[in-house]
């Protein structure tokens, strides 16, 4: 699905040019993989297995939401925040080295 979305974004900058058939096929594969993951991790004997089951359920709980990566304004804001956090981290590291 990511490759299809990236190709559409590269072509015209929007997701409107995605082929509906390819998108439906990718969505079907994703949902099948999620259901298989839930089924395989259903036995929860210990804490680690409970964690794996919770992780396997999470994609289905988030189904239908568009990831922020494909939303250009949100992606730009996130990148600015990351740059700011990195700059803050570098400057505080430099300040501690000076002391």
Which tens digits make up the pLDDT trace of 54-72?
888 887 777 666 555 566 6
* Residue 59 shares a structural domain with residue 85: no
Instruction: State the pTM of this model.
Output: 0.48
- 14 DSSP 8-state letter: S
* Residue 28 shares a structural domain with residue 45: yes
Angle value at C-alpha 60, between 56 and 62, nearest 5 degrees: 115
pLDDT value for 17: 79
| Residue 44: strand, helix, or coil | coil
The number of distinct structural domains making up the chain is: 2
* Residue 54 shares a structural domain with residue 99: no
Write out the two tokens for 26. 């990718």
* Residue 75 shares a structural domain with residue 98: yes
Nearest residue to 5 (alpha-carbon basis) of 85, 69, 95, 64? 69
* Residue 78 shares a structural domain with residue 54: no
* Residue 80 shares a structural domain with residue 58: no
- pLDDT tens digit sequence for 12-70: 877 777 888 888 888 888 888 888 888 888 877 888 888 888 888 887 777 666 555 56
Domain of 97, in residue numbers: 68-99
* Residue 98 shares a structural domain with residue 79: yes
* Residue 34 shares a structural domain with residue 45: yes
């Amino acid at each position: 699905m990511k490759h299809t979305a990236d190709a559409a974004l590269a072509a015209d900058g929007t997701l409107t040019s995605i082929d509906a058939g390819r998108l439906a096929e990718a969505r079907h594969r994703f949902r099948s993989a999620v259901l298989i993951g839930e089924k395989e991790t259903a036995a929860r004997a210990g804490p680690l297995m409970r964690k794996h089951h919770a992780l396997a359920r999470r994609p289905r709980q988030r189904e239908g939401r568009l990831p922020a990566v494909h939303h250009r304004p949100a992606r730009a804001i996130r990148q600015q925040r990351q740059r700011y956090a990195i700059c803050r981290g570098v400057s505080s590291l430099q300040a501690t080295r000076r002391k």
